[in-house]
Amino acid sequence: MRQLLTDRYRERLSGVLSCYDRIIVTGTLPGVCHAKGMTAFLWAQGVRIFDYPRFAEPLRDRIRARAAELASAAGVTIEHIAKRHIRKEDIVAKVLAGRGDHPGLVHIISAMEACDSYKPWHDKRTHHSFLRPDSGKCLHYYFYFIDAQLGLIYLRVPTWCPFRLQFYCNGHGWLARQLTAAGIGFTLVDNAFLRIDDWQRAQTLADHLSPAGLHLDRYAQQCCPVLDVFPHVYHWSFMQVEYATDLVFRSQTTLKPLYEQLSRQAILTVKAEHVATFLGHKITPQLAQEIGSQFATRIEGTCVKHRFGKSSIKIYDKFGLVLRIETTTNDVSAFKHHRKVEHQHGPATYGLAPLKKNIYSLNDLREILRGCNRRYLEYLSSLDDFSAGIRALDRLTQPRPINGRNVRGLNFFSRVEQTLLAALQLPAFNIAGLRRADLLPLLSQCSPATLTRQLARLRRLHVIKRVAGTYRYYLTRTGRAAIAAGRRLTEHTIIPALA
């Protein structure tokens, strides 16, 4: 098995860290988050179906009043955004630059955005009135907080039923707070650690993010004062999750050429079956998922992204020092694992089943996404082995003085040398090695004396080595890599370009 990048560049790495990045969670009220449930709730409360807007308006006013109350208590002004191109993150970043990162309410932003809703409907055939699913726009509030444990978070609260909440936090921000509490020094830029004094302890801490530490119910009660109306508490499920594995290099000069080659090879060599394997899936005749790869150039640099349905895995660099592999999913149930399965009839069993979407799958999801990153890292490591052959090829093609004599390098454009090098790569010579007598039938244009000189030259270039006490030769590791790289370059690049 080829060495992983983490092992091969061990001396040039500051550290390696796998950690949750972006986590977005959706909060729904189980009994009223669907039209049939809200219809039953209104009937139970004695509210006419066509009075549904009149029922929802006081709840809307409650949320508006709560937003104004929180803003007044924290000394902030609610800022309304009417244009889509304005990024909320930029606004909050400016506020934090002047405010600092002490815990508390940072800012409140309001915006008119799409929301789920219901509309009253009367069926003339059955003479029944009920609610039907609908969509529209309503005012949304974004409550940004600095949490003492999570760092920067926000809660998105709509002002119209059924009050579907959205909660955001970042695993790197949470880990930064844990490192501070543990007395471990670090340097965090954006959402990437460039330095940690103890990488092993940091990884241990990163593996302990739990659902209880998200404080979801506390923020829901604080910002959405409608829970006394409905007989349920919020059910929290994953909307989007990112899990990143960072290889932090000591120098930009090490990462830059490595990343350029990895990104170039990844976009050219990764096929649909590879993408499926990275993300733990199989391609079957019944598959109805979109699979593809994309190379994007951003202000920060380039990014290679592979998609499989609602999940993706990508590689990009940050600040020229961090090589990040990141798996993103918008549907965690697309992944399967072994768990307890409850059946409608009969006892529970243990088997392979889709991952549950609720936040209590956080620990299981960590292991699944880490496995995706590991498989992609293993694939990238195999691509990097090819770069070693390219570097060896460059050294071997230049003339070099040996014992006072100039020994010419390899020439992959020469038909004679192409035939010789192809013969050296034959699988039959991998076990017992090769002799001059084995090569003569394959190289009819070479005389025994010429072939002897060629073998001596290849020995001086360290392409082949001689077995002590015999006249048998083996390809060296450098020779094998150089020949493979040279033949690939000639056959797949130069010849097609000149055709």
pLDDT value, residue 323? 95
Predicted TM-score (pTM) of the model is 0.77
Structure tokens at 171: 């695993």
Say what the pLDDT of residue 117 is.
92
Distance CA 275, CA 312 (A): 9
Show the tokens assigned to 90: 């930029």
State the DSSP code for 11. G
Mean pLDDT of the chain: 89
Bridge partners for 322 per DSSP = 248, 318
Whether 179 has a pLDDT exceeding 80, the answer reads: yes
Nearest Cα residue to 457 out of 394, 409, 421, 415: 409
**Which DSSP helix (H) or strand (E) runs through 137?**
strand 128-147
Give the whole-angstrom CA distance, residue 236 versus residue 19: 21
Residue 81 scores a pLDDT above 80: yes
Please give the pLDDT value at position 202.
96
pLDDT digits (tens, 9 = 90+) for 28-76: 999 899 999 999 999 999 999 999 999 999 999 999 999 999 999 999 9
Task: Please write the tens of the pLDDT for every residue from 373-418.
Answer: 999 999 998 875 555 555 566 677 778 787 778 888 888 778 888 8
Helix (H, G, I), strand (E, B) or coil at 51: helix
Residues 12 and 248 sit within 8 Å (Cβ to Cβ): no
Q: Measure the CA–CA gap between 175 and 155, rounded to whole angstroms.
A: 20
Q: Say if CB 364 and CB 352 are below 8 A apart.
A: no
* Fold topology of 400-498: Arc Repressor Mutant, subunit A (1.10.10)
Max mean pLDDT among 208-222, 292-306, 383-397 falls in 208-222
The answer to whether 19 and 327 have CB atoms below 8 angstroms apart is no
According to the model, what pLDDT value does residue 496 have?
85
318-358 per-position pLDDT tens digit: 998 999 999 999 999 999 888 888 888 888 888 888 899 99
Residue-range domain boundaries for the chain: 1-20+241-396, 30-233, 400-498
Smallest CA-to-CA distance from 261 within 2, 478, 3, 5 is with 5
pLDDT of residue 390: 54
Identify whether 162 is preceded by a cis peptide bond (ω within 30 of 0). Answer: yes
Q: Per-residue pLDDT tens for 187-199?
A: 999 889 999 999 9
CA 222-226-231 angle, to 5 degrees, is: 115
DSSP assignment string, 330-371: S-GGGSEEEEEE--SSS--EEEEEEPP-BGGGHHHHHHHHHH
Q: Is the pLDDT of residue 473 over 80?
A: yes
pLDDT score for 181: 93
DSSP H helical segments within 30-138, as ranges? 35-45, 52-74, 88-99
